[in-house]
Amino acid sequence: MTAVDPVSVEGRLRSFQSITDAALSRLDDRDLLAELLDRTREVLRADTAAVLLLDFSSGHLIATAAAGLEEEVRQGVRIPVGRGFAGQIAAQHRPVILDRVDHTTVLNPILWAKGIQSMMGVPMVAGGKVIGVLHVGSLTPRKFTAGDVELLQLTADRAAAAVQSMTAQADRVAAAALQRSLVPSALPAIAGAELAARYVPGSGAIGGDWYDVFCLPSGELCVAVGDVAGSGLAAAVIMGRMRSALRAYALETTDPAEVLGKLDRKMQHFEPDALATVLYAVIEPGLDQMHLALAGHFPPVIARPGQPAALASVRPGSMIGMGLQARRPVSTLPVPPGTLLCFYTDGLVERRGELIDDGLDRLCRAVTAQPAEAACAAVMGALVGNEPARDDIALLMVRRQAGVEGDADA
Amino acid sequence: MPDVSFQVEMAGDVPVVAAPGDIDITNAAALRTALLEAAGRGRMFVVDMSRTQFCDTAGIHALVAAHKRAGDDGSEVRLVVTSATVLRIFEITGFDQVVSCFTSLDQALAAP
């Protein structure tokens, strides 16, 4: 094949740019990649074109879309970064041209079995990171030129931006759906207690705040509140795992420190990079006492009838994932009839340019021993008001009813 | 998200990372990158948080990652912390039990 003159490169470039961003934005990711590959094959007069996207957790490039080489996708081809043709492009962050395609240069047997003679591939880069590889191939021997590389890189840049924005969008939707499924929409009905809750996502990405309320077969009422460091889908997934692990350990023992200890051991082994604060409380059947342990979480606020509300007196325990082995302290606190327990995450009390203790004082002043729903409304009104929250806020009120039958004042 | 990066400076042979005034989800990832780079450079390194007035769980996450990396490499992280709010967060989270905090850079460098 002869070298392509600059005029025709420009012409091809123009024809390629006819795929406008507006047109692309109407396609979903599969259609978008298919469209880009078809157009790429056409303007470069190539026989095959394929996109491999990087799976960050495994470090493999995974065949995601292909034209003229559909079996690559159907067979789920995976190439480790650093190995073979595509693996080198991703590892070295630069285009690669192959004039010989066989087992010495290409890892994926589909490519040489197909009879591809020449190949050219470029990295797909978004936000300074390689997110995949785009390559084209020719069934007849061909010398790819610098102009060809330039054109392919242009396509790859466009595809990378589109893929990244679609991935981010899909992650946001998935994280929001996961978060909704993990925060109970209906709180359990507990004889002698009333519950109310609020959950407000922060203005940034979905965070990893959650709360959980459940009863044990032996009758204890259990409350967990937590905050996973990080945001988006990754944090929501870890939150889901922690929530179900905590429930499982709760069935084994009513000692809250033991439950947190087991949860910590599980997380350190299976999710060594995760870090989270968790509060876990076990309220005895009959609701007279609460056993409470903290893993880096703020203590609850307790309002007993006729007394000002105060932070529960409990010594701090280290966060889940911090790496400490020490058993966390447990406090046993009386819960006389009419007492309101207020559990929350840091988004409720932390404000920039202010001491944490000022935020906690403000919360204590806003909490009074009143019905749970009214208490939630009062606290959100006093601490959040009309301000959009930067961070997630989770708030859970548990009130032991004052009347003998439990409904005298509800 | 603002584009931020943090430099690792050397005090003699000790890497020092100057942490920003607020550490939160918008800059914690960049701070983490700088901390992990510093963590691999010697027998200890210092995070100078003397300007830091706010540090949320994202910030603690970055610091814990650096502390763990240092531990794996047989190295040590030392913090310079002056803000009462930051010290309180360290106390609540239990982070004060795993790292050494100092009130000035000189103290952090001079400690045995």
ipTM computed for the complex: 0.87
- Please, which residues have CB within 8 angstroms of residue A32's CB and are 6 or more apart in sequence? A24, A159, A162, A163, A166
A406, part of any domain: no
The answer to whether residue B32 scores a pLDDT higher than 50 is yes
How does residue A125 score in pLDDT terms, banded at 50, 70 and 90?
very high
A1 part of a folded domain:
no
Domain end call among A116, A138, A173: A173
The sheet with strand A221-228 has its strands ordered as A208-215, A221-228, A276-283, A289-295, A330-334
Q: Which of the two residues, A52 and A9, has the higher pLDDT score? A: A52
Shared-domain flag, residues A165 and A304: no
Q: Sort out which chain A residues have CB atoms less than 8 A from B22's CB and list them.
A: 352
| Stretch A160-170: mean pLDDT | 81
Last residue of one domain, picked from the residues A129, A152, A173: A173
Residue A342, judged by CB atoms within 10 A of its CB (0-12, 13-18, 19+), counts as buried
Give domain status of residue A384, yes or no. yes
Report the C-alpha dihedral over residues A130, A135, A141, A146, rounded to 10 degrees: -50
Find which of B4, B26, B76, B93 to mutate to test the A interface (most A CBs within 10 Å of its CB): B93
Residues B95, A275: C-beta atoms closer than 8 Å: no
Nearest in space to A40 (alpha carbons), one of A106, A136, A141: A136
On whether any CB of chain A is under 8 Å from the CB of B65, the answer is yes
| Contact at CB, B93 and A296, closer than 8 angstroms | yes
Q: Is the pLDDT of residue A360 over 90?
A: yes
Q: Which residues pair with B80 in a beta bridge?
A: B48, B102
DSSP H or E run through A385: none
Residue A178 lies in a domain: no
Residues A295 and A253 in one domain: yes
Per-residue confidence band for A50, with pLDDT thresholds at 50, 70 and 90: very high
> Which of A319, A350, A354 is nearest residue B93 as measured by Cβ atoms?
A319
Report d(CA A409, CA A98) in Å as an integer: 80
Chain B contacts of A231, Cβ < 8 Å? 25, 58
Whole-number average pLDDT of chain A: 87
In-domain check, residue A407: no
* Residue B84 with chain A: CB contacts under 8 Å: 355
Residues A289 and A384 in one domain: yes
- Measure CB to CB from residue A322 to each of B25, B58, B98 and give the nearest one: B98
- B35-48 tens-digit pLDDT: 988 887 778 999 99
Q: Which CATH number belongs to the domain containing residue A225 in this structure?
A: 3.60.40.10
Q: Please tell me whether residues A100 and A196 are part of one structural domain.
A: no
Of A145, A146, A142, A40, nearest to A100 by C-alpha is A142
Q: Is A123 exposed, middle or buried (0-12, 13-18, 19+ CB in 10 A)?
A: buried
Q: What mean pLDDT is predicted for residues A157-178?
A: 81
In a domain, A24, yes or no: yes
Residues A166, A187, single domain; the answer is no
CA dist A205 and A227 (Å) reads 14
Q: Examine the domain organization and report whether A68 and A167 are in the same domain.
A: yes
Dihedral, CA of residue A157, residue A161, residue A163 and residue A166, to nearest 10: -170
Q: CA of A97: how far to CAs of A101, A220, B49, B92, B100, in Å?
A: 10, 67, 49, 56, 53
Looking at CA atoms only, how far is residue B112 from chain A in angstroms? 23
If asked whether residues A128 and A260 sit together in one domain, one would say: no
Q: What is the pLDDT of residues B62-109, one digit of tens each?
A: 999 999 988 888 889 999 999 998 999 999 999 999 999 999 999 999
pLDDT of the residue at A179: 77
Which pLDDT does position A409 carry in this prediction? Answer: 45
Q: Which pair of structure tokens corresponds to residue A341?
A: 């327990």
Beta-carbon separation of A316 and B68 below 8 A: no
If one counts the domains in chain A, the total is 2
Pairing type for strands B54-55 and B100-102 reads unpaired
Q: What is the pLDDT of residue A410?
A: 41
Contact residues on chain B for A295, CB-CB shorter than 8 A: 94
Q: Are A87 and A62 found together in one domain?
A: yes
Mark yes or no for CB contact A316/B93 under 8 Å. Answer: yes
In angstroms, rounded to a whole number, what is the distance separating the alpha carbons of residues B79 and B59? 13
Domains of chain B and CATH, by start: 8-110 (3.30.750.24)
Closest CA to A66 of A54, A43, A49: A49
**Could you tell me the residue range of the domain that residue A196 belongs to?**
183-400
Please report residues of B whose CB lies closer than 8 A to that of A323.
64, 67-68, 71, 98
**Distance between A52 CA and the closest CA of chain B, angstroms:** 26
Whether A92 and A194 map to the same domain: the answer is no
Identify the domain boundary among A148, A173, A198: A173
What φ, ψ does residue A43 adopt, rounded to 5°? -70, -30
CATH number at residue A45: 3.30.450.40
Q: CB distance B60–A273 less than 8 Å?
A: no
Q: What is the DSSP letter of A197?
A: E
Q: Are residues A149 and A205 in the same domain?
A: no
- A261 and A356 assigned to the same domain: yes
To the nearest whole angstrom, how far is the Cα of B1 from the nearest Cα of chain A?
Answer: 9
Residue A119 domain-assigned (yes or no): yes
Q: Is the full-model pTM beyond 0.90? A: no
pLDDT at A12: 64
A363 shares a domain with A232: yes
